[in-house]
Amino acid sequence: MKASTTTILPTVPVAGRDHVQGSLAAPIHLLEYGDFECPFCGAAYPLVKEIQQELGERLCFAFRHFPVTTAYPHAQHAAEAAEAAGAQGRFWEMHDLLFENQDALDEEDLAQYAEVLGLDAHRLRAEVLDGVHQSRVREDFRSGVRNGVNGTPTFFINGHRYDGQRALDEMLATLTGAAV
């Protein structure tokens, strides 16, 4: 019987593994565990965009999947569609489309978003239906559980869990205070 090895991901972005916007050398790292169908993540999405705009090159933002499938039936396939888009070089564009269209995440919608982005929609749909990216999404989820994530969105700032208010001023104060 083969021993199961489990990667424990740190609560900071990992080079060559995580989807990141900004430089890993930035003094501030913001990591989100999120679910594309979760309305709380949807509410946090414009906040993260505003934070990115405010902090610019001082911020490295990373996103990891934490699909809460017991509450959100399309969450898993949406996460896998984002990974399939990432395999075609368009993770962040799909990330944004999924959050901007949270109420439309069935298989047809996901294929339509692939077309909108100029991706190979047939390939994306096949990869989602075949579970090609399921292990990646599961790895993100498991790392979240190991790091104390029990709901979405959950944020980590420079490796430390952020449990404060999801308000621009408070998050910016915490983020800028975390800069090294």
pLDDT in tens, 15-52: 889 999 999 999 999 999 999 999 999 999 999 999 99
Q: Which domains does the chain have, with CATH numbers?
A: 22-178 (3.40.30.10)
Residue 87 burial (C-beta neighbours within 10 Å; 0-12, 13-18, 19+): middle
> Which structure tokens are listed for 155?
């944020």
How far is CA 172 from its chain centroid? 20
pLDDT in tens, 162-173: 999 999 999 999
Separation of alpha carbons 129 and 123, rounded Å: 10
Q: Which pTM value belongs to this model?
A: 0.93
pLDDT band at residue 4 using 50, 70 and 90 as cut-offs: very low
State the average pLDDT over residues 62-83. Answer: 97
Asked if residues 38 and 153 have their Cβ atoms less than 8 Å apart, the reply is: yes
State the average pLDDT over residues 45-72. Answer: 97
